[in-house]
């Protein structure tokens, strides 16, 4: 060892031992599990989910995409925020306490997390989110398998410069492991069988990344994603919104599976004597019919086409104007999971570009 260990090599066997060591030290590790064995759909080639890992054998690093993004660990689908009691009159905020290692996060999902970090640290800060984020270690991995509907290579999301603690790239016999933070550097010390990466191995990493990017180019935007904010200007009345949304079930799946969607609803559960209760939040989605409903029953987006259009504007223009990010990282989850196959941003944006 020695030298600059910003780029290290870890043998495959060493990685196995590394995961075992993390577990032995009682860390909570979540990672990607291949769920094909539990699929009940004949001929299903399988699917992947993030779940707790109890042994290194349970972890898969060669996945294409997971059903739900890792945002579920930073912004849980259900999260209690506080409890209150009128006698003796107390309010107690719930604070996230668990330390978590998320092992195996693709660059596009890390970019989505970086976007959420920006949103939730903007005043008024979201302390629950920020506390979880602080307690979460992210070990990234470059994709080797490409999901059939992925288009991250078109969205500038094939690699990521920061937001991870460690980043792994499978270069065949071993992994290149990039250190992205102090936390990552101290984790690396725990990993057996590591050494500094040789220049040829770093080149090999570039090659692996370029090849993956080329394969992902099978689905692509016909123009630069940075043109999206201006492309959407003046397209509010385009026929595509009515035409496509005719098939929309308003199920909200495209929101829930999206790594850059972070909207939530806050509710109170109050005891029957109105003396105590709790406040919690749950995921919400702008495609759900009551999302923009207000007191008195008014609904700012009561029509399906308005909700459908809103999502594309949010991805391509609204978040960019507020935070400087295009809020689609090309994971392809919405495209793959929409029951009507109308949620694919590539299909909508390319058609708007063609002007038909
Ligand atoms: S809009 Fe679709 S493709 Fe883009 S980040 Fe969200 S789920 Fe992924
Ligand atoms: S997943 Fe498809 S059907 Fe469901 S709300 Fe989104 S666009 Fe509509």
The fraction of the chain above a pLDDT of 70, given in percent, is 96
**Ligand 2 pocket residue status of 179, Cβ below 6 Å:** no
pLDDT on residue 336: 95
Q: 239 and 199 in one domain? A: no
pLDDT at 41 over 70: no
**Ligand 2 pocket residue status of 340, Cβ below 6 Å:** yes
SS3 call for 195 = strand
| Residue 258: closest CA among 228, 286, 224 | 286
CA of 303 to the centre of ligand 1 (A): 22
pLDDT on residue 209: 98
Q: Is 1 part of any domain?
A: no
Q: 125 and 29 in one domain? A: yes
The mean pLDDT value of the chain amounts to: 94
The structural domain count of the chain equals 2
245, 311, 343: which to mutate for ligand 2, most atoms within 8 A of CB? Answer: 343
| Residue 142: closest CA among 208, 224, 97 | 208
Q: Strand 194-196 and strand 29-34: pairing?
A: unpaired
Identify the weakest region by mean pLDDT among 29-43, 170-184, 308-322, 323-337. Answer: 29-43
d(CA 70, CA 11): 26
Q: Confidence band (pLDDT; 50, 70, 90) for 329?
A: very high
Residue finishing a domain among 187, 216, 245: 216
Q: 160 and 38 in one domain? A: yes
Average pLDDT estimate for 33-44: 71
Q: Is 133 part of any domain?
A: yes
Q: Is 2 part of any domain?
A: no
Number of residues assigned to the chain: 356
Q: What is the domain range of residue 29?
A: 7-216
Q: 23 and 152 in one domain? A: yes
Atom 7 of ligand 1, nearest CA residue: 258
Q: 210 and 67 in one domain? A: yes
Q: 128 and 19 in one domain? A: yes
Q: 130 and 239 in one domain? A: no
Q: Is 340 part of any domain?
A: yes
**pLDDT tens digits for range 111-170:** 999 999 999 999 999 999 999 999 999 999 999 999 999 999 999 999 999 999 999 999
Residue finishing a domain among 216, 234, 268: 216
**Ligand 2 pocket residue status of 105, Cβ below 6 Å:** no
Asked if omega into 13 is within 30° of 0 (cis), the reply is: no
Q: 253 and 235 in one domain? A: yes
Q: 36 and 165 in one domain? A: yes
Average pLDDT estimate for 79-99: 92
Q: 208 and 78 in one domain? A: yes
Average pLDDT estimate for 26-55: 84
Q: Is 322 part of any domain?
A: yes
Contacts of 202 (CB under 8 A, 6+ apart): 7, 176
Task: Decide if 286 contacts 311 (C-beta within 8 A).
Answer: yes
Atom 4 of ligand 2, nearest CA residue: 251
Atom 6 of ligand 2, nearest CA residue: 254
Task: Decide if 157 contacts 203 (C-beta within 8 A).
Answer: no
The shares of helix, strand and coil residues in the chain, as percent rounded to the nearest 5, are 35, 20, 45
pLDDT at 40 over 70: no
pLDDT on residue 177: 97
pTM: 0.95
Ligand 1 atom closest to residue 261's alpha carbon, by position in its atom list:
6
**What are the angstrom distances between the C-alpha of 194 and each of 9, 17, 161, 170, 348?**
5, 11, 22, 14, 46
pLDDT on residue 109: 98
Residue finishing a domain among 184, 216, 248: 216
Q: Is 196 part of any domain?
A: yes
pLDDT on residue 193: 84
d(CA 25, CA 277): 37
**pLDDT tens digits for range 168-207:** 999 999 999 999 999 999 999 999 889 999 999 999 999 9
pLDDT on residue 2: 42
Q: 211 and 116 in one domain? A: yes
CA of 207 to the centre of ligand 1 (A): 26
d(CA 345, CA 256): 15
**pLDDT tens digits for range 248-289:** 999 999 999 999 999 999 999 999 999 999 999 999 999 999
**pLDDT tens digits for range 221-236:** 999 999 999 999 999 9
Ligand 2 atom closest to residue 341's alpha carbon, by position in its atom list:
2
pLDDT on residue 3: 47
Atom 6 of ligand 1, nearest CA residue: 258
Q: Is 176 part of any domain?
A: yes
Atom 5 of ligand 1, nearest CA residue: 328
**Ligand 2 pocket residue status of 339, Cβ below 6 Å:** yes
pLDDT on residue 42: 59
Q: Which ligand has an atom closest to residue 329 CA?
A: 1
pLDDT on residue 89: 87
Average pLDDT estimate for 333-339: 96
Q: Is 158 part of any domain?
A: yes
SS3 call for 298 = coil
The fraction of the chain above a pLDDT of 90, given in percent, is 91
**Ligand 2 pocket residue status of 221, Cβ below 6 Å:** no
pLDDT on residue 203: 97
Q: 126 and 241 in one domain? A: no
């Amino acid at each position: 060892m020695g030298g600059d260990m910003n780029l290290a090599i870890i043998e495959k066997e060493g990685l196995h031992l590394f995961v075992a060591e993390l577990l032995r030290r009682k860390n909570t590790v979540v990672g990607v599990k291949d769920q094909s064995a539990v699929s009940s759909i004949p001929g299903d080639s399988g699917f992947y989910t993030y779940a707790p890992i109890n042994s290194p054998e349970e972890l898969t690093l060669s996945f294409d995409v997971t059903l739900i993004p890792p945002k579920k660990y930073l912004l849980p689908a259900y999260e209690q925020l506080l409890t209150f009691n009128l006698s003796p009159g107390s309010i107690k905020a719930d604070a996230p306490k668990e330390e978590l290692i998320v092992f195996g996060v693709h660059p596009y999902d890390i970019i989505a997390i970086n976007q959420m970090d920006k949103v939730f640290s903007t005043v008024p800060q979201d302390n629950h989110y920020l506390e979880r984020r602080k307690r979460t270690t992210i070990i990234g991995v470059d994709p080797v398998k490409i999901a059939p509907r992925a288009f991250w290579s078109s969205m500038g999301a094939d690699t990521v410069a920061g937001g991870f603690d460690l980043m792994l790239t499978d270069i065949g016999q071993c992994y290149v492991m990039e250190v992205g933070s102090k936390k990552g550097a101290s984790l690396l010390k725990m990993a057996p069988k590591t050494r500094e990466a040789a220049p040829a191995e770093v080149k090999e990493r570039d090659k692996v990344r370029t090849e993956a990017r080329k394969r992902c180019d099978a689905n692509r935007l016909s123009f630069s994603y940075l043109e999206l904010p201006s492309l959407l200007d003046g397209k509010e009345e385009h026929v595509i919104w009515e035409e496509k949304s005719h098939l929309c079930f308003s199920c909200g799946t495209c929101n829930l599976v999206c790594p850059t969607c972070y909207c939530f609803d806050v509710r109170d559960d109050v005891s029957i004597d109105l003396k105590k209760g709790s406040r919690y939040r749950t995921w919400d989605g702008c495609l759900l019919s009551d999302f923009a409903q207000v007191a008195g029953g008014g609904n700012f987006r009561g029509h399906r086409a308005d909700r459908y259009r809103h999502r594309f504007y949010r991805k391509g223009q609204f978040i960019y104007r507020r935070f400087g990010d295009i809020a689609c990282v090309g994971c392809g989850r919405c495209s793959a999971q929409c029951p009507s196959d109308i949620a694919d941003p590539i299909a909508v944006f390319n058609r708007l570009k063609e002007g038909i």
